[in-house]
Amino acid sequence: MPMKSSNVVWHTATITRDHREKQSGHRSVILWFTGLSGAGKSTLAHAVEEHLFQRHCRTFTIDGDNVRHGLCADLGFSSDDRVENIRRVGELAKLFTEAGVLVLTAFISPFQADRDRVRALVPDGEFIEVYCQASLDICEGRDVKGLYKKARSGEIAHFTGISSPYEPPTSPELTVNTGEATIEACVAQVIQYLEAQGII
C-alpha cells in the first residue's frame, strides 16, 4: 500500500523495545487466534489473557467485533474490506509488540494471505498463529450471535463458512480443539507453548 505522503521520516526512540521487554519481564509477541465464527476465538483469547495477567504479564486483547466500533468502523465485509481490516489490525498489533506487550488478537481472518502478511510484519517467532479448530456444524450449532441463522436466510452476505470461504491455517504454531476440548485445556495448551518457547 503506497504512502500518501513522501514527507514522513521515521523517528528512532531512545527507549527501545528491548528496554520495555526487560521492564515487562517477558517477550512481546502476537498471539493470532483464527477460526470460524463461534469457534471460541474471543473466549480463548480473553481466558489466556486473564491467566497471563495473573502472572503479571503486560497484555492486551484486540477483538474483531470491538475494532469495528472504532478503528475499522468505516469497513464492511467485502473481500477488499476484510483485507484492509486485517492490515490495520496487523499494524496495530505490531505497535503493541514494540511497546513490550503480549498482544492477543481474535479475528476470523479467513484468508491465509492476510494472516501471512501480518506474520511478515514481525521477526520470525513473534507471530504465533493459533488455529481455533471447530467444525462448521459445531460453530453453527452454537450460533452464539445468531449470525449463522441470518446467513442461512440470506440476511447476511459474505458470511464466512456459508457464503464466503475460510482458509484454515496451513502450518499454525498451535492447533487448539476449541470445538470439543474444555476452555481450561485450551488455555493450558497455549500457556505451555509460551513457556516452552521462553516467551513467558
Using one digit for the tens of pLDDT, what is the confidence trace for 23-42? 788 899 999 999 999 999 99
Residues in the chain, overall count: 200
Given a cut of 60, is residue 3 above it in pLDDT?
A: no
Structure confidence at residue 145 (pLDDT): 86
Output 11 or 163, whichever has higher pLDDT. 163
pTM given for the model: 0.87
Q: Write the CB contacts of 194 (distance below 8 Å, at least 6 apart in sequence).
A: 200
3-class secondary-structure state, position 200: coil
Rounded mean pLDDT of 148-160?
A: 89
Segment 146-155 shows an average pLDDT of 90
Query: pLDDT value at position 37?
Result: 93
Query: Which residue would you say has higher pLDDT here, 191 or 3?
Result: 191
- Above 70 in pLDDT, residue 101? yes
12 DSSP 8-state letter:
P
Name the phi and psi angles at 31, rounded to 5. Answer: -100, 110
Cell numbers describing residue 18: 528491548
Mean pLDDT on 91-109: 95
pLDDT (mean) for 155-159: 87
CA distance 182 to 39: 12
Residue positions annotated with a catalytic role: 109
Burial group, residue 92, by CB count within 10 angstroms (0-12, 13-18, 19+)? middle
**pLDDT (0 to 100) of residue 79:** 79
Q: What percent of the chain has pLDDT over 90?
A: 67
Q: What is the DSSP letter of 120?
A: T
Q: What is the mean pLDDT of the chain?
A: 90
pLDDT digits (tens, 9 = 90+) for 112-125: 999 999 999 999 99
